[in-house]
Amino acid sequence: MIAPRDVPELDDATHMRGALGTVTHGGRIRNNPDGSGDYTGGVDLVVHADVQTIGGEQVAVPLDEDGLLLYTFYANLAAARTAVEAHGIDTTAIFPMAAAWNPAVSPLLEFAPADNAAYATGANVFMLLPDGDDRDVPVLANEGVIFHEFGHAILHLLMTHDPGAPPLVIDPAVESHYWQASLHEGFADTLATLLLDDPRFIDASLDLPLRHVDDDHAVVDDSMLPSTRMSTDLSQIADDPYPLGTVYASFAWDLREATDPDTALVIVLDAIARWAPQGASDMDGTVYLSCLLQAADDAGLGDAACASNEARFALLGVPCP
């Protein structure tokens, strides 16, 4: 459904400038081997829009699909920031954030996911790609996708306190690199599903039941574990961090079903606060899981967390507190 939205953060709707940052066209996002990144060369955008009076309000109505996608992205990012701030996370350091409409990305294969929106960790920049397929909701306009991508920015902020810092582990030859990738996807989906209270936000855009967090996802065999993925996937490009990440997001959804979305997210954030000092040097999902179990137990949800641990993570062998 297309409907007017109030986006006070967007000061200049013609040039996509506002409190969240500026969206520019083209340019290049560079993802360097040392984990740093940058975005350069974007040029000013011009969104063609008609200003109409709807319900007594002045509304900018974009005249093409690109404009509609960009306005929707900005509104969804604003909503994600507001929802995260409501949980006591100070996102000041992230904004203003650059966003790149249809940029070049190098090295190209680093960024060849199916996604049409991505957050480049280390560069603190959003990459936005037009959607070539005919979907109910283009990926870029899917609220959950933007919340998910913002989740990468938030986890990086919580772990490093610096949005411009490189990822904590940049060496694909070590196991924690693969934990990092999965824990990031797990947290990004946790944030999106809990803040929107929607375990299947992806459905509006993609037929991807493997990403539903209210299903029976579990660590079923070694192939999902970083130790095995490291030895079988010689390049990080071939690695798939999502299956293991989805188990973590499903664990958080179990907590939501035992209580409510806000309480579940408070527990996850508490777990990250306990884990971050230990995880900063060596990402490890078993350490994080024990922090999650402890945080849930302290919040009075030990039984639900322990049942989820047994159903989903038995293979990791992390004991309940």
Residue numbers of the site for Zn ion (CB under 5 A)? Answer: 185, 188
Closest among 46, 25, 47, 37 to 104, alpha carbons compared: 25
Cβ nearer to Zn ion, comparing 67 with 186: 186
C-alpha angle with apex 81: 105 to 143, nearest 5 degrees? 65
Report, in Å, the least distance between residue 149 CB and Zn ion: 6
C-alpha to C-alpha distance for 216 and 299, rounded to whole angstroms: 24
Cβ nearer to Zn ion, comparing 193 with 309: 193
Beta strands at 125-128 and 117-120: parallel, antiparallel or unpaired: antiparallel
Kindly state the tokens that stand for 231: 């030895």
Closest among 87, 90, 143, 85 to 267, alpha carbons compared: 87
Cβ nearer to Zn ion, comparing 62 with 151: 151
Report, in Å, the least distance between residue 246 CB and Zn ion: 11
Report, in Å, the least distance between residue 185 CB and Zn ion: 5
Cβ nearer to Zn ion, comparing 7 with 188: 188
Report, in Å, the least distance between residue 59 CB and Zn ion: 32
Report, in Å, the least distance between residue 245 CB and Zn ion: 8
Cβ nearer to Zn ion, comparing 185 with 254: 185
In this structure, the number of other CB atoms found within 10 A of the CB of residue 94 comes to 21
Half-sphere exposure of 40 (CA within 13 A, CB side): 5
Which residue type does 176 have? S
Closest among 276, 35, 20 to 165, alpha carbons compared: 35
C-alpha to C-alpha distance for 292 and 296, rounded to whole angstroms: 6
Query: Of all residues in this chain, which one has the CB nearest to Zn ion in the complex?
Result: 188
Report, in Å, the least distance between residue 29 CB and Zn ion: 16
Q: Which residue has the tokens 């994600």?
A: 80
Cβ nearer to Zn ion, comparing 185 with 239: 185
